[in-house]
């Protein structure tokens, strides 16, 4: 199995484990040799460190994917900027905003009349 490069998080967790094992664990003073190795193998800290490193690696992978997507997006828009838009596209981009009144007029609604126009007098 090829050796992987140590990450920043590997350094932190290694230093943390050394501190815990050397300064906080009670077993090095009580056990020796094989008994101590067996007790260390049962320790939950190793599993916690593995969980921390796995989560860190997942986050690092997601961050890398996000950066790649950002680069792809920037490249896509850079490619678009290199091409001159068509005349129809230029006209469309220079057109004013489409208002609600424009939409109603297109549908055939009389926008000049009053709100009550066309209704009978209820008196």
The pLDDT of residue 41 is above 60: yes
| Residue 117 within any structural domain of the chain | no
E strand intervals along the chain: none
Calculate mean pLDDT across residues 28-40: 90
More confident residue, 14 or 84: 14
| Residue 3 within any structural domain of the chain | no
pTM recorded for the entire structure: 0.54
* Mean of the per-residue pLDDT values of the chain: 85
Angle between helices 8-19 and 45-82 (to 10 degrees): 160
- How many domains are there within the chain? 1
More confident residue, 97 or 66: 66
The pLDDT of residue 44 is above 80: yes
| Residue 65 within any structural domain of the chain | yes
Question: Where in the sequence is the domain holding 50, given as residue range(s)?
Answer: 8-106
Place of tokens 């916690």: 48
């Amino acid at each position: 199995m090829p050796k992987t490069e140590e990450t920043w998080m590997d350094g932190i967790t290694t230093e943390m484990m050394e501190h815990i094992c050397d300064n906080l664990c009670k077993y090095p003073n009580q056990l020796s040799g094989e008994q101590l190795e067996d007790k260390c193998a049962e320790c939950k800290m190793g599993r916690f460190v593995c969980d921390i490193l796995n989560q860190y690696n997942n986050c690092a992978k997601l961050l890398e994917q996000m950066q790649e997507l950002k680069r792809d997006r920037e490249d896509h828009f850079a490619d678009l900027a290199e091409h001159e838009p068509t005349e129809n596209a230029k006209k469309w981009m220079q057109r004013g905003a489409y208002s609600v009144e424009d939409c109603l007029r297109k549908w055939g609604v009389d926008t000049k009349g009053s709100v009550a126009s066309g209704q009978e007098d209820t008196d």
